[in-house]
Amino acid sequence: MPPSICRPLVYTSWFPLAPACAAMARAPRDARARGLAALSAALIVSSFGHWRAPKWDSPRRYFDLFVVWASVGYGCWLATTMEWAYARGWWCGMPLVGAAFVANETAFHRELRAWKTCGGATRAHRWFIYRRTTWTHLVGVHAGSSTAATWLALGVAGSRG
């Protein structure tokens, strides 16, 4: 994907700052909050690194995927230590984020395969697909996961653990 189209994803790489700040503001001495803040900071670094020049087979992409999966795993564990009012945001939000990611990636790669087998696509059509993929990822993944993680972070102070 051209880096110029991915600019919005570079800008929204800062979205994980919200759960990091929320966790540290609510419970600065709680180890769970510090873990959430540290993973959120790692997400900022990895996402920014990947989306500023996205390449399918690059170490930056693999690092971003690793940090994303580590964050999802930590969030799932953290949600088990939360009161249900806060855990519900995670358990209801993250399946929607996952569905948006899978649907977006599936559509993108099907169209990519169609371009290669059908003799290519027009430049305008390719750029439309790139933009749609970028904005769907921005809203469905960056904004959705940061919202779910922020809601989880707000529950750190008042939860058992």
Q: Which residues of 75-86 are buried (b: 16+ CB within 10 A; e: fewer)?
A: beebbeebeeeb
Which DSSP state fits 149? Answer: H
Say whether pLDDT at 84 is over 80.
yes
Say whether pLDDT at 160 is over 60.
no
CA distances from 72 to 76, 95, 103, 152, 158 (A): 6, 11, 18, 12, 21
Which DSSP state fits 57? Answer: T
Global pTM reads: 0.88
Q: What is the average pLDDT across 122-136?
A: 88
Taking only the tens place, the pLDDT of each residue in 55-74 is: 989 999 999 999 999 999 99
- For residues 156 and 36, the answer to whether their CB atoms sit within 8 Å is yes
Say whether pLDDT at 161 is over 60.
no
146, two tokens: 């940061």
Taking only the tens place, the pLDDT of each residue in 5-55 is: 999 999 999 999 999 999 999 888 889 999 999 999 999 999 999 999 999
- For residues 94 and 72, the answer to whether their CB atoms sit within 8 Å is yes
105: Cα within 13 Å, side-chain hemisphere: 8
CA distances from 37 to 41, 78, 115 (A): 6, 12, 41
Cα separation of 49 and 38, whole Å? Answer: 17
Say whether pLDDT at 94 is over 90.
yes
Higher pLDDT, 21 or 2: 21
Q: Using pLDDT thresholds of 50, 70 and 90, give the confidence band for residue 139.
A: very high
